[in-house]
Structure 1
């Protein structure tokens, strides 16, 4: 259960793997952060991952300063199919991947990054070709193929269990073109690791950690209640912004005990999408 009498502030983050700053004027496929709590109900736009993280830290600190609690959802996988962590790091602990990526990924203030090199280096640790795939044609190599059909013999499952239950969710191995959540994961997990290092025991990640904490991070899938989002989108609103805004409202509308229970569901090695299987309840929490 969450702490009695504490009002949660909900943050929902639509991440981006852009390799340059997003345009000054808000556009789709960029970073949007929704906040729903007693101090604010707003959506902000961020041109770089560094700017987004700085914004989140500032807002998290403000919530903690007034004695509140943070629930923050990010729209990329928090882990990989079973066996990947052990193959890469020697342990099944999903946070070992976070730490490994935090050391390997270079991602500067202008979004320039080395994710292709890192994916290629990870593939080199597996037999055959793969599991990661997808990159610009000029960057493709024998170790990092441009097409998924060129992979073979790497030994990893294509999808986590949660993705098999939600087939429209893209697999984490896909790094390029439409729905390439894999690149968001490579560039997102190091930022989450930075939050873990900053806040220490005050932060917990569900469903991997059970302990009570002032900040709780969870994986989300904004399209989970896509029909409700479209019905509640404002005229001219960028779909990414509408998704995080409405999803934050839905989670905020749950009772504290119910929200806490929902966040704890799932696989402790592969991770989970918060709210999966409870779509009707989330939609009902939006009210009329």
Structure 2
């Protein structure tokens, strides 16, 4: 269902799994928040951006407005993971499980590598998660993906097969990895679910009709536009450019009616319920 009123605000968050606060000076590879018509905002810790998101949600409920919050990490895992981890095939069971087991301190210290090793122990063979700093040894967590074997999990979700530039969610460390962002990000957003209850929905696992809707996004959908913007002004920070352009893109899609179509992807229901989807996949032209 997408018969709710249009979104009044569109928020895009570029996440980070950093283990320490980002520099005081706005920097790359940190947390950035973009909104159409507003300058991008920089956050040094996940605790800081979560406080801001909580205020945005509370304001939406207080003013009777609707807000779409997009975050750039996987909201789900490949088929079979949820049931193996939780006994329930629904993605939100994984959200609750990670919410209960992830430790993420106000200064960004977290247990993501240790937790991934503990999750791997629930699977046969070695894996599916892999990757951590060279000086860190975690039982059950291989440093290289090639060391994994017989864990029985698919490498990619259906949406990642369609968008081949995406990285698999099992990769926790080194260039381009999104696995750590997913572990910490899901746990963080699950706290918003707990705080706002039925007033907040996680798409596509729940109908996008609540006042606040969370959705997975992928900034590289606008990679050519980001590259062009950086070429025009090389002094900009890529993360800041991405969140601004994607917020503008979804605002255009809202005005053209394409956003409503994006919220109805032509994908099997069981895939959406277990693996999730990237909002805007297949609609690059409408965003650009």
The answer to whether 1:201 aligns with 2:201 is no
Give 4+ residue runs of structure 1 displaced > 6 Å after superposition. none
Corresponding residue for 1:95?
Answer: 92
Corresponding residue for 1:49?
Answer: 46
**Residue segments in structure 1 that go unaligned for 5+ positions in a row:** 284-288
- 1 CA distance for matches of 2:7 and 2:154? 40
SS at the partner of 1:45? Answer: strand
- Residue 249 (structure 1) shift: 0.3
* Aligned with 1:276 (options 266, 276, 281): 281
**What count of residue pairs does the alignment treat as equivalent?**
279
SS at the partner of 2:185? Answer: helix
- 1 CA distance for matches of 2:15 and 2:251? 20
* Aligned with 1:118 (options 107, 111, 115): 115
Corresponding residue for 1:10?
Answer: 10
Corresponding residue for 2:127?
Answer: 130
Moved more, 227-236 or 147-156: 227-236
Are 1:129 and 1:142, in contact at CA under 8 Å, matched by a contact in 2? Answer: no
TM-score, normalised to structure 1, is 0.93
Cα-Cα RMSD: 1.5
The answer to whether 1:254 aligns with 2:260 is no
- Judged with a 3 Å threshold, the aligned counterparts in structure 2 of structure 1 residues 45 and 58 are, in CA distance, closer, same or farther, namely same
- 2 CA distance for matches of 1:167 and 1:7? 29
SS at the partner of 1:42? Answer: strand
Corresponding residue for 2:209?
Answer: 212
The answer to whether 1:71 aligns with 2:68 is yes
- Residue 211 (structure 1) shift: 5.3
